[in-house]
Structure 1
Amino acid sequence: MQEPSSVELAYLPTTADAVGAIRARRRTSRLWNGVLLASAIVVLSVLILNFMGPRKPGSTVLCLAALALFIGMHVLVPTLKGRQIHKMVAPQGEFQAIVDDSGVRVTSRDSEMTFRWPMLTRYAETDELFVLMTPDKYRVAFVVLPKRGVAEPADVDRLHAVLNRNATRV
């Protein structure tokens, strides 16, 4: 008997799902990571030079404030965006998703979306989620599939297999 090639999920979206998806998507963005890293290197360099030369308290405070801003952006922005996304999707109630070799179909109380694999060419995996992303460099659209939505633990492995056949893990 052949194993079914489709995997069904049913789940209520949570804020943690949205925040986790944004963080996973951000980890795959070379642009965001490059800008953040370059900015942090510049600020740290200025801070080190400031400590090595004549001390300028204003410059030190400015560098420390910039570092705090970078850390705040890294931590707070996904949380704030995740809350916004959750406020948008939570009123839809329970979501159902069917993932198979033709694509992903997600339905809720008031909507139904179908994505074929050419639209979702990449995915990222966290401990709790699969995050499917569009091929554009900004990853504008994404689909969140919480692992808790499967009926049986073995379905996570089947879902992983379907994703590996049809998308690239990033």
Structure 2
Amino acid sequence: MDHQGRDIIQGADVVELAYRPTRRDIRTGIGVRERVRRLVVLRWAFALMFLALTVRHVVTADAVTSASAAISLALAVMLPVLIWSLPHLQAHHVLKLVSWQGEYRTTVTDSGIAAETEHTTLVQRWSLFRGYRETRDHMVLLSRDPNILVLEVLPKRGLRSPEDAERLRALLDRHLSRV
């Protein structure tokens, strides 16, 4: 079977990408989702709360004398690190899920997006997405669901030419809003 997603190709506007997903691609998508959902603010709030707890333990005398205070101090230091590392851990796990599939060949048309690997073919209509955000090296499409569980990350390095980036941007602008 050639490209099963090609049945969505109708017009002359076709942009094709070929790439292998990287941790950076996935991390970029997760970062865009977090900024749109404003999770970065929540992350800062938790990190500052644990930082304040750490300062409190260092300043008070009971931090040195009590074993439970030592455990609290260790948690107060480790939890902000864990909070800030979650997107990297998520990207690592997602990469493990998708990297074995090899190269992705993605076709973007007026009807939607078709992504094919050696093992899968996925066709997504424009109605799945609420909008997109462009970064320096990626186009990140965000799903309509409230938690933005579905992301489509299109790395610009997968395009054949710089003109394809302009065509892809025009195609996305025609069907989605920038968020």
Q: TM-score w.r.t. structure 2 length?
A: 0.76
Indicate whether 1:16 and 2:20 are aligned.
Answer: no
Indicate whether 1:35 and 2:45 are aligned.
Answer: no
Indicate whether 1:56 and 2:68 are aligned.
Answer: no
Instruction: Give a deviation string over 1:55-103, Cα, whole Å, max 9, x none.
Output: 41538x95796466335422x2122111111111111111111112211
| Cα distance between partner residues in 2 of 1:165 and 1:63 | 53
Question: Structure 1 residues 125, 69: closer, same or farther in 2, change over 3 A?
Answer: farther
Gaps of 5+ in 1: none
User: Which is higher, the Rg of structure 1 or of structure 2?
Assistant: 2
Shift of 1:39: 3.0
Give 1:26's aligned amino acid: E
Secondary structure of the 2:129 match is: coil
| Cα distance between partner residues in 2 of 1:133 and 1:79 | 19
Shift of 1:134: 0.6
| Cα distance between partner residues in 2 of 1:127 and 1:153 | 13
| Cα distance between partner residues in 1 of 2:110 and 2:73 | 51
What percentage of aligned pairs have identical amino acids?
32
TM-align CA RMSD: 2.6
Q: TM-score w.r.t. structure 1 length?
A: 0.80
Gaps of 5+ in 2: 1-10, 64-68
8 Å Cα contact 1:121-1:166 kept in structure 2 = no
Question: Structure 1 residues 15, 45: closer, same or farther in 2, change over 3 A?
Answer: closer
Give 2:14's aligned amino acid: S
Give the count of matched residue pairs.
162
Give 1:10's aligned amino acid: A
User: Residue 87 of structure 1 aligns with which residue?
Assistant: 96
